Chain A
Amino acid sequence: MKHADRAKSLLLGLFSLIVFLFLWQLLAVWMNSPFLPGPYSVLTAFFRISTAGDIDGYTLSSHAMTSIYRVLLGFLFAGMTAIPLGIFMGLKPSVNSVSSPIIEPIRFIPPIAWIPLAIILLGGITRYVFLIWIGAFFPILLNTIAGVKRTSAVLVDMAKTFGADSRTITFKIVFPSALPEVMSGLRVGLGVGWMCIVAAEMIGGDPVGLGRLIIKYANLYQMDVVILGMVTIGIIGLILNYAILSTERRLFKWRVEVRA
């Protein structure tokens, strides 16, 4: 993209953001409800919670950092389990046949439905990690399987002809070939994991975390802080998504889908 086009796109984005904020403020003034604060009230809440902290003394950055830590930990476990399993299931159709009847129904259970079980069986950070893991695991797994299956049979046959063993084929041909799909799975998985954070932190127990901040202030009917928590979740989600997307673009410049 040329610099002029990039600047134009940036200006358009900025313009739409200003229009959105203006319409939001207009709606807030028109409704005149203490339950729909305008962007200015949310900005004021941002400064208040960032400096003085919330009702329990936790600042916005401590809420955000705690949530990011929990999400990344859950995401890390999801990647560590889903990628090897996905490769194995993609390579061995028999493993796929055996595991599908178990995995397929489980992937339709929303993370929030796991909350009561997580509370009974797990404690501390492990319950957050578990709920984020369950949200991020399936997109990574399914994309990895798809990536493995997409590997060119010609490349595999050629490697076999040259005497490559199955370990070499897996690590030198199949895995690199599946990497673009794996990255897409990681990006989707991180997005889902991030969305699970509110549900995970709703479990309670810890007074810190963006989900907890939202619920805490919803209980106090202070919607400016509730919206602040929502906006923070959105912005961090966007940054994390952008970080993975940039990595994907750098690693797989050769892919048409990535370039687009």
Chain B
Amino acid sequence: MASKILIVSVIALIVIVGAGIYFSGFLFPQQTATVRVGHLTGDLHHLALFVARNQGYFEQSGIKIELKEYANGPLLMQDFLAGELDFAYVGAPPAISARAKGMSDPNAHLPVVIASVNLEGSAIVVDGSIESPEDLSGKIIGTPGTGTIQDILLSMYIRDHNLTLTKSPMSISYLPIEFSKGTINGFIGWEPAPSIAVVQSGAHVLLTSKDLFENHQCCVLVVSNKFLASHQDLVSKFAAAHKLANNYIINNPAYAKQLAMNITGHSSQLIDLALSHIVYTSTPDPVSMKTFLHAMIDLNVVTTLTHEQVDDFINAFIDTRFI
């Protein structure tokens, strides 16, 4: 009897100790998967990515991120289509046009939206010669590149208000420089570029993207359709970390501001202005994405779809299972 109790006790002890070791991760540490994540140069819209990294949300989910930086959304999406990225923080229009173009290519890695990154977040800043939107006619206005969300927003505004101006596409980092030199009369860009021109070069905000298109979807978190098909668990973890980070920004604005200052090196005043134009949310807005796509078809930015296909396209483009 005593020996039986002893054997049972030993087995129970082994099970308890074994379980303890297993669940503490000492014997079998959690597997870490590396994912490639694209984002844009100095884009405050993508603050959630840096919050998730700094707060260790990715690490806690067993994800190691390899960051790749791009000058604008269309450039990022070119790499994305080629399979060089698994996830990307990018403007909705470049992701839409990349998917629309790549749909007929079975080898292309098509973007699927799994979360929103932010709404709005851009602004048109101008010099003293422009006081009202009507004054934009005949002026040179910079954009961060053809096909970017800002370029589409400006084209939509020009079309709707029957304006004639010269668009001057260039890298986002050059926009405030060209403005300060007087080469352009103003520009539309993602934050903090417009705020840089306001604080450093005396520009004034003519229109925010809220004025241009209220509550419009700006950046989205996309995953490659091929990656999604084979790594649904990782996609789920990544989306959860992203949502956690976006919530952290909303609930801890002081932390968000300090982080924004750290990663951009800009002043408190400049970051305050920039952040006031951005709405952080993880819930995608299909309605504004449909409006964008209709406009992109009208503007010949998307040539592979018709207006009748817009609803089906956007429904297949967004996957809200993970948010």
Binding site for B on A (CB under 8 A): 32-35, 55-56, 119-120, 123-124, 203-207, 212, 215-222
Contact = CB atoms under 8 A, between A and B. Distances in A.
A220 B105 CA distance: 16
Interface in B165-198: 166-171, 174, 177-178, 181, 183-184
Interface of B: 72, 74-75, 77-78, 81, 94, 97-98, 101-102, 104-105, 107-108, 142, 145-148, 166-171, 174, 177-178, 181, 183-184, 299-301, 303-304
A220 B147 contact: yes
Residue from the set A55, A56, A119, A204 with the largest chain B CB neighbour count within 10 Å = A204
Contacts of B303: 222
Contacts of B102: 34-35, 221
A33 B106 CA distance: 8
A204 B184 CA distance: 12
Nearest to B299: A55
**Interchain residue pairs A-B with the least CB separation, the first 6:** A204-B170, A219-B74, A221-B101, A219-B147, A216-B146, A219-B146
B154 to A, nearest CB: 12
Contact of B301 (A32, A55, A205): A55
15 contacts: A35-B81, A55-B146, A55-B299, A204-B145, A204-B169, A204-B170, A205-B178, A205-B184, A207-B169, A216-B169, A217-B146, A219-B146, A220-B147, A221-B102, A222-B303
A34 B104 contact: yes
A220 B171 CA distance: 16
B177 A120 contact: yes
A115 to B, nearest CB: 10
Contact of B105 (A34, A56, A123, A207): A34
Contact of B300 (A55, A120, A203, A212): A55
A204 B147 contact: no
Contacts of A124: 183
Given A35-B101, A119-B177, 7 more contacts: A55-B300, A204-B145, A205-B174, A218-B74, A219-B72, A219-B148, A221-B74
